[in-house]
Amino acid sequence: MEIIKVNSYEEMSQKASEILQKQLLEKQNSVLGLATGSTPIGLYEHLIELNKEGKISFKDVVTFNLDEYVGLERTHNQSYYYFMQEQLFKHVDIKEENIHIPSGVAEDLEAECKRYEEQLKALGPVDLQVLGVGVNGHIGFNEPGTDFSSRTHIVELDQSTREANARFFNNIDEVPTHAITMGIQSIMDSKKILLLAFGESKKDAIERLLSGEVTEDLPVSVLNKHSNVTVIYG
Ligand code: GLP
């Protein structure tokens, strides 16, 4: 595991963008695993800039997002589809057909999980997976206690996760109770993983990860079992 300690959010975003840039220069048709949340926004800003300057291109890039809320249409301003459009996709030269995000409004959600996992298998493996981490150590929406062998599945969100994410909604009652997420094994199948974490609230999860602990009570700790992980934190 490569561990990079930074002093600012900007430094984390800058370093992360260098890793993504290198990946895209080495392999133009990379399959990228992408995350939502406030953590990767700075990284995405750098990628937009690099794309505008002609230093990287997304024209052959394929993306898979980690997760989506159940019940939110793509057009809902808190859906992860909407987030990705606003924070990255609409500003770069990616092709719509190369973007993959699970649908949280599919009639048959179990079938949607299966379909997503099959797409991952067909187009993957993911070359580089960008990850954030929840305050309780979740990755994607894999809450504490999730089986490490899990694949794309439906989860009931922890109350603490709903509270943490309520800041983006008018009130906590509007935060969906369920989500569809890539499983822990689906994430571990990626060739490389880049974990980003910044701030006091993430400190505990990161310290436990860096202690080498591996437990299903702390989903992010599974990264201790992966052979190519970079952690940038501050
Ligand atoms: C969200 C997402 C995760 C994200 C995490 C941290 O609920 N499902 O993919 O990494 O929580 O979010 P943030 O970056 O806003 O702290």
DSSP per-residue string spanning 29-45: T-EEEE--SSTTHHHHH
Show the DSSP H helices in the chain as ranges: 9-26, 41-52, 80-87, 109-123, 159-165, 184-188, 200-210
Ligand 1 centroid to Cα of residue 202, in Å, is 11
Query: For residue 140, which atom of ligand 1 is closest to its CA?
Result: 9
d(CA 192, CA 128): 5
Residue 121 CA to its chain's centroid (Å):
18
How are strands ordered across the β-sheet holding 192-197? Answer: 2-5, 229-233, 192-197, 128-131, 31-34, 62-65, 99-100
Give nearest CA residue, ligand 1 atom 10: 132
Going by CA atoms, what residue is nearest to atom 1 of ligand 1? 37
Task: Decide if 234 contacts 11 (C-beta within 8 A).
Answer: yes
Q: What is the pLDDT of residue 86?
A: 98
Q: What is the pLDDT of residue 189?
A: 98
Type of residue at 194: L
Number of neighbours of residue 34 by Cβ within 10 angstroms: 24
Measured between its terminal Cα atoms, the distance across the chain in Å is 16
Interior angle at CA 197, CA 195 and CA 199, nearest 5: 175
Q: How far is CA 86 from CA 17, 44, 214, in A?
A: 18, 10, 35
Ligand 1 pocket (Cβ < 6 Å) reads 35-39, 66-67, 132-134, 140-141, 161, 165
Residue 217 one-letter amino acid: D
* pLDDT (0 to 100) of residue 106: 97
pLDDT tens series, the chain, 234 aa: 999 999 999 999 999 999 999 999 999 999 999 999 999 999 999 999 999 999 999 999 999 999 999 999 999 999 999 999 999 999 999 999 999 999 999 999 999 999 999 999 999 999 999 999 999 999 999 999 999 999 999 999 999 999 999 999 999 999 999 999 999 999 999 999 999 999 999 999 999 999 999 999 999 999 999 999 999 999
* pLDDT score for 172: 96
Residue 136 · residue 100 · CB < 8 Å: no
Best residue among 39, 64, 175, 223 to mutate for probing ligand 1, ranked by most atoms within 8 Å of CB: 39
171 carries an active-site annotation: no
Q: What residues have CB less than 8 Å from 72, skipping those under 6 apart?
A: 78, 79, 104, 105, 176
Q: Which tokens belong to 121?
A: 């298998």
pTM confidence score? 0.97
